[in-house]
Amino acid sequence: MAYISTSEVKEIRKALKIKFGKDIKFSVVRESSGLAVDVSIMSSVQDFSTLWKNKNKGEYGFGYKQIWGPGTMPTLASSKLYNDIVDIIKSAPAKVPGCNPWYDKSDSQTDYFDTAFYYHVNIGKFDKPYIQQ
């Protein structure tokens, strides 16, 4: 059953700070149901404006975009950033005593879903846009 505890989310937050320092500001929150963790890039030096330029204000306005994989990032460097973030999301919870790293044993052909937890990576938030430093 998908579930992530607050201590696992705290470990993700800590690992992101260690890896990226003050270069990138993140918001890492656990969804109220405990099924998922939302990791949002709130500010950095990277220019993500191509994600919402000429696209009818992006999905919900300038400064917010849901990222569904490295292919949706505007540059190769930001694709690497996405992969680094996902690696931390998947590995950091294992540092909490009694917790395991992320896994996905789901099989959609048999309608069987078994994952450690769900995760979402965003640039900015719906109510707080991304800021380029």
Residue 35 lies in a domain: yes
Query: 1 lies in a domain?
Result: no
Instruction: Identify the three-state secondary structure at position 76.
Output: helix
45 pLDDT above the threshold of 80? yes
Rounded CA-CA distance 102/110 in Å is 21
Return d(Cα 3, Cα 80) in angstroms, integer. 27
Residue 100 has pLDDT above 70, yes or no: yes
Is residue 11 included in any domain, yes or no?
yes
CA distance 82 to 67: 9
Q: Which residues pair with 67 in a beta bridge?
A: 121
Share of the chain above pLDDT 70, in %: 92
Res. 64: pLDDT tops 80: yes
* Domain-embedded: residue 38: yes
pLDDT of the residue at 18: 97
Specify if 124 maps to a domain.
yes
Give 13-29 pLDDT, tens digit per residue.
999 999 999 999 999 99
Number of domains in the chain: 1
Instruction: Give the domain extent around 94.
Output: 6-132
Q: What integer pLDDT is reported at residue 90 of this predicted model?
A: 96
Name the pLDDT band for 71 (thresholds 50, 70, 90): confident
